[in-house]
Amino acid sequence: MSEASLSNAFFTILKRDLTLAYRTRTEMVNPLLFFIIVISLFPLAVSPDPVVLRSLAPGVIWVAALLATLLSLDSMFRSDFDDGALEQMLLSVHPVSVLVLGKVLAHWLVTGIPLLLLAPLLAILMHMPSSSVPALMITLALGGPILSLVGAIGVALTVGLRRGGVLLSLLVLPLYIPVLIFAANAVSNAAAGLAIAGQLYFLGALLAMSLTLAPLATAAALRISLR
Amino acid sequence: MHLANTTSVKFSMSQSTLGISVKGLTCRRDDRGLFRNLDFDLKPGQALQIEGPNGSGKTTILRILCGLTLPTEGEVFWNGLPIEENRLEYLTAMDFIGHAHGIKSELTPLENLQVAMAMANAQPNQSLKAVLEQVGLRGFEDVPAITLSAGQCRRVALGRLLLSKSLLWILDEPFTALDVQGQAQVETMMVDHVEQGGMVILTSHHPLALKDGMLKTINLRP
């Protein structure tokens, strides 16, 4: 099989999922609204004091981004599972992991990128110093794809269960913790004027690892789920 | 290549090894035996109809034949080799339409067929619009499938068969939701396919108008 047909299949899946997301865009807005609401509640509930908010900001924004991603994960394979498109994907002549990568990329473009673009706005709301906003953006750019890639494994494992929501969080959240620690720490360090290269290298390494291994694991998990 | 040859000899069927064959297929679900020791083979130019009451494992057999579900015991062979060993060749030659036919309701029939073609790595031998017209969906090419009826959606899925050059069609209740004319058309499609040397495996109670010797029947009794 030629590389051209494989990349054609990859881009077909990507385009298909982006079209689907565009046509069901009201569902796409939910995680974004969740992200905004959770963060905007903190100044009301904790304290409007800029000093307090500034120290909380990196952690709060990252936890909210993580939970918003978790909220959006289930849609990745759900409708495909229900209407049989997932079976057709598994019976495709192309490697399932490549098709999965197309789906994950579409998921990140549809949920990860909007979170990334909204983050500076919410950083201002949380009185984050402007020097740490680039760090926040970089960590979201490196960490967001990891959340989608690792989340895909969890969704693939739970898609056959009727109520897999709780199980999904239990499976996926422990795997998200390293990302959360390095990312929030990088943003805090940037605010304090310290170096953040170390944390970014770790995030980059995690991204490289999940980019290469997660699609394979997801493909295997899908086969098990459809059995 | 040498290795592949020895395995094909090892697993060779009684006569020619072309086609699909099944040996000692047994499936249990939750301690309940669905079927046991099922043997059959199907050669180009033959159709197999699987009958049986609801819950007797018809859909399970089809999913096992596709390689989606693993049987408790037994194996499925394609051209003499277990399907796990020549998966790519098998998937290229096989087309499956399940009970859920994989038509995305937010996409138009045309987009659905485009995706299906890319998944199958197939070059359509005729224009997608012509196929949609053939299955009676003229004028519905560009409306989201969610606005179509269940029968019309199934017609889109059947359009996939017309486009593909697959040798083996595995169809789960292909007549469901279709009107009388649609059922007749599907039957014609299947008969043509078998007469041109293709293979069809289907679950249905609908009698097929095939000549003797071309149609095999399996009845699953609980």
State ipTM: 0.86
Residue B102 · residue A83 · CB < 8 Å: yes
CB contact under 8 A, A87 and B115: no
Predicted pLDDT at A39: 95
What is the pTM assigned to this prediction? 0.90
**Beta-carbon pairs below 8 A across chains A and B:** 80
Per-residue pLDDT of chain A (227 residues; tens, 9 = 90+): 577 889 999 999 999 999 999 999 888 899 999 999 999 999 999 989 999 999 999 999 999 999 999 999 988 999 999 999 999 999 999 999 999 999 999 999 999 999 999 999 999 999 999 989 999 999 999 999 999 999 999 999 999 887 878 899 999 999 999 999 999 999 999 999 999 999 999 999 999 999 999 999 999 999 999 88
Tokens of A211: 């980019």
3-state secondary structure B89-141: HHHHHEEEECCCCCCCCCCCHHHHHHHHHHHHCCCCCCCHHHHHHHCCCCCCC
* pLDDT 10s digits, A55-104: 999 999 999 999 999 999 988 999 999 999 999 999 999 999 999 999 99
Element (H, E) at B204: none
Tokens of B41: 């083979």
Is A1 an 8 Å CB contact of chain B? Answer: yes
Question: CA A221 to CA A97: how far, in whole Å?
Answer: 11
Tokens of A29: 């807005």
Residues 6+ apart with CB under 8 A from B81: B4, B7, B8, B11
DSSP string, A56-118: HHHHHHHHHHHHHHHHHHGGGTHHHHHHTHHHHHHTSSS-HHHHHHHHHHHHIIIIIHHHHHH
Question: CA B105 to CA B141: how far, in whole Å?
Answer: 13
CB contact under 8 A, B106 and A92: no
Output DSSP code: residue B28.
E
Predicted pLDDT at B222: 64
Residue B12: inside a domain, yes or no? no
CB contact under 8 A, A84 and B98: yes
Number of domains in chain B: 1
Per-residue pLDDT of chain B (222 residues; tens, 9 = 90+): 344 443 333 334 344 578 999 998 888 887 777 888 889 889 999 999 998 888 888 888 999 999 999 888 999 999 989 998 888 999 999 999 998 888 999 999 999 999 999 888 877 778 888 889 988 888 898 999 999 999 999 999 999 888 888 899 999 998 988 899 989 999 999 999 999 999 999 998 887 877 777 888 888 876
* Pick from B155, B154, B168, B218: nearest CA to B67: B168
The alpha carbon of residue A35 and the mean position of all alpha carbons in its chain are separated, in whole angstroms, by: 12
CB contact under 8 A, B106 and A19: yes
Predicted pLDDT at B11: 38
Residue B49: inside a domain, yes or no? yes
Interface with chain B: mutation pick from A81, A91, A103, A110, highest number of B CBs within 10 Å: A91
At what angle are helices B150-163 and B180-195 packed, to 10 degrees?
Answer: 20
User: Which chain B residues are within 8 Å of A88, Cβ to Cβ?
Assistant: 96, 102, 116, 119
Q: Which domain holds residue B111?
A: 19-215
- Strand, coil or helix: A1: coil
User: Which chain A residues are within 8 Å of B91, Cβ to Cβ?
Assistant: 91-93
Predicted pLDDT at B5: 42
Which residue bears the tokens 């086609």?
Answer: B19
Is A87 an 8 Å CB contact of chain B? Answer: yes
Strands (E) in chain B, as ranges, are 20-29, 32-42, 46-51, 73-78, 81-82, 94-97, 168-172, 199-203, 215-219
Question: CA A218 to CA A149: how far, in whole Å?
Answer: 9
Residue B158: inside a domain, yes or no? yes
CA separation, residue A7 to residues A95, A102, B92, B94, B111 (Å): 11, 10, 18, 22, 18
Element (H, E) at A176: helix A165-191
Residue B196: inside a domain, yes or no? yes
* Pick from A172, A181, A173, A206: nearest CA to A62: A181
Residue B141: inside a domain, yes or no? yes
- The enclosing domain of B41 has a CATH number of 3.40.50.300
Residue B221: inside a domain, yes or no? no
CB contact under 8 A, A87 and B121: no
Residue B5: inside a domain, yes or no? no
Predicted pLDDT at B10: 37
At what angle are helices A3-23 and A25-45 packed, to 10 degrees?
Answer: 60
**How many residues are listed for chain B in this entry?**
222
User: Which chain A residues are within 8 Å of B101, Cβ to Cβ?
Assistant: 83-84
Residue B130: inside a domain, yes or no? yes
Is A92 an 8 Å CB contact of chain B? Answer: yes
3-class SS shares of chain B: helix, strand, coil, % to 5: 35, 25, 40
Question: CA A29 to CA B153: how far, in whole Å?
Answer: 28
Tokens of B205: 């109670």
Residue B15 · residue B38 · CB < 8 Å: no
3-state secondary structure A106-169: HHHHHHHHHHHHHHHHHHHHCCCCHHHHHHHHHHHHHHHHHHHHHHHHHHHHHCCCCCCHHHHH
